Structure formats: C-alpha cells, structure tokens
Structure 1
Amino acid sequence: MSSDKVFALRQKRLGTELRKLRERTGMTTTVAARTLGVQPAQISNIESARHPVSAERVRAMAVNYSCADPGYVDALAGMTGARKRGWWEEYRESLHAGLIELAELEDSATTLRVAVIIHVPGLLQTVEHARAVFRENLPALPPHDVEHRISYRVKRQKVLYGASPTPYRAIVHEAALRMGVGGPETARAQLNYLLEMSERENISIVVIPFGEASFPVSGQSVVYATGPVPQLDTVELDTDYGCDFLDAEAQLAKYRAVLDRMESRALPPGKSRDLIHRIARDI
C-alpha cells in the first residue's frame, strides 16, 4: 500500500476529535460548514482525514464548537501540518498498517503503560526472544521476514532510550515469565534482560504472581499511551488479526480502571525483581 494512501495515526485522531467536538454541539456538517464558510464536504473530509487542515482552521472550528479548553485546543492545533515521516516509514510497504501506527503512537506518547498475561512486552524483548516468537507465526514467515520484523521491533524500543526516554510501566503476569520461549538459554537471557531494564529510571516492571486470581483479564496485551492532554490518550489492543486503537472517553476510562486493578494485584517493583530472579535461577 502506498504511503500516500495510508494516513498517519495523528491525522486520523485529529479528524476524530474534531468530529466529537462538532457532535457535542449538535451541529450537522452542513451547519458547521456554514459557520466556517466552506462546503459540507470539506468538513467531512477533514473529519475522515482525507483532507489536511491548518492550525488556524482547527482553532476556528474549536471556537465554533464552543470548546473552552485551551490546552486541548493547543494540542489539536499541534497535530496539524505535514505527516511526520519517522523511521517507521521504511516499513510501511511491508508491514500491516496497524503496526506502523503502533510505532507512531509509541513515539508520540508522553508515557506508556502496558499489561501482558502470556507475552513479554514487545519493547522489552531480546532479539533472540523476538526471533523465537516470530518463528512460531501462523502462517509461517520466511526467514528474511522474521529478521525484518525483528529489526522493526528493535527500532521501536528506542523510545525507552535517548536523552528523553519515555516513562514506561509494565504489568506482567508470572505466566509470561515462565513460558520458556526459545528454550532455557533464551528464556534465561530474556529474564535477565527484564531485570536489567527494570533498573532504568524510566522503566518499572511489576509482576502479578500465580495465585492472584482476582483481576480483570482478557488475554489481550494492552498498551495505554498518554497524550499531551488526557483527551488525546489512546489504548492499543494486540489481537490475533492486528492492532485495535481505542480513543472514546468511556473506553479510556475503562482501561485506566483495568490497569489500575491489575497493578493493585501485582507485587511491588522490588519483590517483582526477586520473583524474576527466582524464575531465572530455576530454568
């Protein structure tokens, strides 16, 4: 798929937010277009990310929609302009669009909070662990595709490094730590890597131990990406058929509550590291 035909996640989100603002006022696209002096089709094209919009136009729309939150309006205006061409663009022709959007979401997030039950979080996987995971893909991936996906995953991990690394909090179930992906040597190296990463100032890893059954769980991996303002937070769900992105207020509230409940059932960071140590020692 041509990159010209795939719109960046932030452009889609901007259109969605502008539609939400319009709908809260009860305006139709016809009325909204009349107040701005444009055709209704232009409003529809902006909201569906088929047409670019300037920061000045976004601010005018916010005024017409009676939005009195300056921080929110500034954040929306900041989402305008040319689509950011990040490192992920080189993968756009070869990977699912949802994976490209995930990399863009991680890159723009102010904080990341992740919950996993049976998988080690992608941003914390070693190369050998990732290789073992991709080799089990159905349908089977050719060797060069496996290496291509590994390089993509490694580049995603850059958000955890650098001068301003993204704060990252992972809630991991003990089951994920005991899966033994790739065999004993790979599994032990992966656990040791988690311990190493947990010592970084921007990273916190907490573990839900076996026996703690009282927490909400669906088996899906959950990523909660904090935006520049709460209205622009996003939830990403990892499914068998790709990535789902959620941004409705009720959905965001639900997953904040889910993650809070899961984290309340997890061991504190120090005891979590002790448990990871014991599991690594027993492999």
Structure 2
Amino acid sequence: MPNWPTLRRRRLARELANLRESIGMTIEEAAGHAGISPSHLSRVERALVGVRVPVVRALLATYGASPTVAANLVEVAQTATQRGWWHRYAGSIPDEYATYIGFEADAARIWNFELISIPGLMQTEGYTRSVLQGGVARLSEEEIERRLEVRMRRQALLHREGPPALWAVLDESAIRRQVGGPETMAEQLNHLAAIANLPHVDVQVLPFAAGAHPGTPGSFVVLGFADPTDREVVYIETMAGDLYPEGDADVQGAVQAFDRLRAMALAPDESVSMIRNVAKELA
C-alpha cells in the first residue's frame, strides 16, 4: 500500500520541525531521544513518511511541548494514519493523483483553471470515459472503469455537508471542444451549467476574444485550507507527471495568475449563458 502524504501529515511534519528548531536541537539529538534514526526523523519532518503515535509522544516530550499542543498534535498524528476512500484504488491510479485527491478532500477552497477540458469535479460519466479513452496512456476497459469510478467518487465532496468553495475558470476552448461527440458534449455542458448554480460554486469562461492570458502555459489548481497555517497546494498535471511546486514564488505566482484569469473572464452569469448556448448549438 503506498504511503501517500496527506494534509494532516504535512501539518504534523511542520509542527514537529518547528518545535525542534525552537529549542535549538539537532535532528540527530532528537532522533536519539525518540529512539529512531536521524534519517527517519528527517523524512518525517519533510512529510515523506508517516510516524507512529508513540514516536510522536516521545518527540513532544523531548521538545517540552505544552499539554495543549501535545494533545493537538497527537490527535493530528492519529488522524494522519487514517486512510481515505481512494486508498482502495492503489495500483489503479498514479501515486501523484492519489496525493492530490487527499489534499482535495481536505480543501476549504479549490481554484481550478482549465485550458482545454472540463474540470474533473464537474465531468459527466460520458465525458470522462471519452477523455480516458483518448488519453496518452492506452488503458484497458477495466482500467478506464476504475478511473471513472474514482472521478465520480471525487465529485461527492461538492454535495457533502460543508463543501469546499469551488471556483473554476475555463478557457472557451474547454466548452467548444467536442469530447465524445455532440450529444455527449451537450450533456456535459448542461451538467456544467447546473453545477454552476450551486451556492458554493462559481464558473467563469475566458473567451477567445480575451487573447493571451496567464493560463496559456496550461491548466493548474490551487487548493486552500481552513487552517491559515496550512499553506496552499498548487497542482499541475503534465504528460511527464504531476507537479507540486512548493517554492514561495511558485505558489504566489499561481495565486496571482488565477486572480488575473478571474478578472479577464466573463462574469459567472454571462459564462453560464454562453455554456447553455453552446449546448443548444450542439443539440
């Protein structure tokens, strides 16, 4: 079973590293007190591996953490080991994609720019199947069905109690490209317009007339979280693999790019009207 990172593991890693550094203790010294190797503690602090609760307790005692801080971080450590629904698909989906699903499930807000396709959280089954069939990887029918199932299950978060705020900006090419043919695309666009009416969802279309824009290099997602200490996660899907740029400049650049794209796009009401008009043309 892959040891996929989660938001909680990332939070735990950050807090443990901060506590150690606040008392001027080296990784080697802390690892010795906790009974683990320095290399393992280094990987824990980089959120590359999980950590057992007894080790967390030993580290917290070593760092002299207050009872309140210790109780909070032990709880985080316990929940960090819980596996989400997507873990049952190990082997069927790439590890980087599974990591993204975990972050997405914890997000309070999702900003998604798509250059040529409809966002996965808004796709119909017919549209998704056509995308998978036409992708770079040659997937078997069984693999397609498994990935289709994953994508449909992801969409449940839009209808759960306390859903994330989703803001999607789509290049006009995303609603014009006839994925799966006119009938499938018309169904997809009508579904997109319906999703856009949810109170926590905003959809904007960036028209061809807008010309060059910050999203020209490609699609990307910015995930924000309820805890202000949890930094945004930027996700970029590429043919060479999925990327998670973590540098301050990279994250801030993605946030600024999305802000500019929102400003350049049609207003949500105008966007939904365009989406419905394109669906009518196809029908």
Q: Which TM-score tier does this pair reach, normalised by the shorter chain?
A: 0.7 to 0.9
Determine if the alignment matches structure 1 residue 222 to structure 2 residue 220: yes
- Asked whether the equivalents of residues 114 and 121 of structure 1 are also in contact (C-alpha less than 8 Å), the reply is yes
Q: Distance in 1 between matches of 2:97 and 2:122?
A: 17
**Which among 161, 164, 172 is matched to residue 163 of structure 1?**
161
**Which among 91, 94, 117 is matched to residue 92 of structure 2?**
94
CA RMSD of aligned residues (A): 3.1
**Letter of the aligned partner of 1:237 in structure 2?**
I
Report the equivalent of 1:17: 14
Q: Aligned residues, how many?
A: 274
Report the equivalent of 1:50: 49
Deviations 1:37-73 (CA, angstroms, capped at 9, x unpaired): 9763453242244351546567668878xxxxx99x9
- Asked whether the equivalents of residues 120 and 172 of structure 1 are also in contact (C-alpha less than 8 Å), the reply is yes
**Letter of the aligned partner of 1:151 in structure 2?**
E
Q: Distance in 2 between matches of 1:275 and 1:147?
A: 31
Report the equivalent of 1:276: 275
Q: Give the TM-score normalised by the residue count of structure 1.
A: 0.83
Determine if the alignment matches structure 1 residue 213 to structure 2 residue 233: no
What's the % identity of the aligned pairs? 26
Deviates more, 1:214-223 or 1:100-109: 214-223
Deviates more, 1:177-186 or 1:86-95: 86-95
- Asked whether the equivalents of residues 177 and 276 of structure 1 are also in contact (C-alpha less than 8 Å), the reply is yes
Q: CA deviation at 1:210?
A: 0.9
Report the equivalent of 1:255: 254
User: Which blocks of at least 5 consecutive residues in structure 2 are unaligned?
Assistant: none
Q: Distance in 2 between matches of 1:206 and 1:58?
A: 48
Report the equivalent of 1:67: none
Q: CA deviation at 1:92?
A: 1.1
Report the equivalent of 1:172: 170
**Which among 3, 7, 10 is matched to residue 6 of structure 1?**
3
Q: Give the TM-score normalised by the residue count of structure 2.
A: 0.83
Report the equivalent of 1:106: 104
Report the equivalent of 1:135: 133
**Letter of the aligned partner of 2:143 in structure 1?**
D
- Asked whether the equivalents of residues 112 and 167 of structure 2 are also in contact (C-alpha less than 8 Å), the reply is yes
User: Which blocks of at least 5 consecutive residues in structure 1 are unaligned?
Assistant: 65-69
User: Quick one: structure 1 residues 52 and 36, their matched pair in 2 at CA, closer, same or farther if it must change by over 3 Å?
Assistant: closer
Q: Distance in 1 between matches of 2:165 and 2:121?
A: 12
**Letter of the aligned partner of 2:248 in structure 1?**
E
Residue correspondence of structure 1 range 23-62 to structure 2 within 5 A: 28-30=26-28, 40-41=38-39, 43-48=41-46, 49-52=48-51, 54=53
Residue 163 of structure 1 aligns to a residue whose secondary structure is coil
Deviations 1:216-272 (CA, angstroms, capped at 9, x unpaired): 124432111112323422111111133222344332211111110111101111111
